[in-house]
Chains A and B, each alone.
Chain A
Amino acid sequence: MTALRLLILAGLIAGLPTVAAAQSERPTATLTVQRGLSISTVSPMRLQPTTPDAGLSVTGSNLIDAPAMIRISGDPGRVYRIRLPQADADQGGSVIEDLRIWSATSGDISDTRVARLDLQGHDLLRVSGRLRVRLDEEGEPVAALPLSIDYE
């Protein structure tokens, strides 16, 4: 009986209300903000079919053999990569070969296809190549060049 009393007493002592300070916790949540890549074609590419390799310089707007001018905006200093679809040798119609890409910030990126935006978050691409036309094609030859550009 004494033992039981002691046990009850211990429980009461252990359970005595003490200074009950409020306890706080400060959890954290996160997200990562990024500026979307803005891509706009300033001028389309115009290639002379008979010319083996178009020049990369621009002397006016929309001249024959003018490269495509593409303006890119995004997070300053970020690296971006240009992706092209796999060439399909069996596809019909005209195609662009020997693609040349020149970046205002990174120079010739024809092989690497990787460049960096400047400190203001801008870059300007000049894209050119050689237009291969099928002999049996009628009318004005037109080729599509789908580019995919995203942050690296």
Chain B
Amino acid sequence: MKRTIAGLCAALTLLAAGQAQADPTVTHSPATAPTLGTTIRGSSATTFSISTAGAVSRTSGNAIRLSTSSVTTPTINISCGLLNLNSLCALRYIRVTITPVTGSGAAHITRLRVGSLTGATYRTGSAPAEGGSVTFDLNPLGLLTTASFKLGMDVQLAAGAASGNTTFDYIVTVQFTT
């Protein structure tokens, strides 16, 4: 019996050591989202607002999105591996920061909004306000859960944008906080 327990200890120790640099982790799905589809460029900068449920509406400008269908918004997942034990992840607060990537592309994100949270609760008790970037803390995940939420955003397409596919990125960062 002692040998079995000792083996379990060793296995857990190795597991912890192997994932020492990987806590907590953040993933997203689907790979590319949202995908707005074909848009006729406008003569003025145009902002499309995407709700966390995926509904798209034009809030300014004169570009035209050909489709009126909803889009799939990205789902962000946060976890800490097996049983959330790494670095005492199950017991620690997690800070989530989401920021748009500003580049030279024709489109960029101007506003972010976080949808309903599952698998965790907000440390402040309420969802963060939408904004140019969003930062919020999660209460400890516990042993068995993965925190997930949908992400909505406002996207601005430049006036007279060049034809072709254009991408707009954002960065989600997670880290422990006290």
Contact = CB atoms under 8 A, between A and B. Distances in A.
B81 to A, nearest CB: 10
A57 interface: no
Contacts of A35: 40-41, 163
Interface stretch (A2-10, A41-49, A62-70): A2-10
Given A23-B24, A29-B33, A29-B167, A34 B12 contact: no
B163 A16 contact: no
A21 B98 CA distance: 16
A31 B173 contact: no
B165 A30 contact: yes
B164 A24 contact: no
Interface centre among A10, A14, A29, A30 (most CB of B within 10 A): A29
Contacts of B171: 24-26
Nearest to A15: B88
A89 interface: no
Contact of A31 (B27, B36, B76, B174): B36
Given A31-B37, A32-B165, A25 B2 contact: no
Nearest to B101: A26
A26 B74 CA distance: 12
B144 interface: no
A10 B87 contact: no
A31 B31 CA distance: 14
Contacts of B106: 33
A123 B5 CA distance: 80
A7 B37 CA distance: 54
A36 B25 contact: no
A46 B123 CA distance: 75
B163 A34 contact: yes
B13 interface: yes
Given A30-B35, A31-B157, A23 B26 contact: yes
Given A3-B1, A22-B173, A29 B9 contact: no
6 contacts: A10-B5, A15-B89, A23-B22, A30-B36, A32-B39, A33-B162
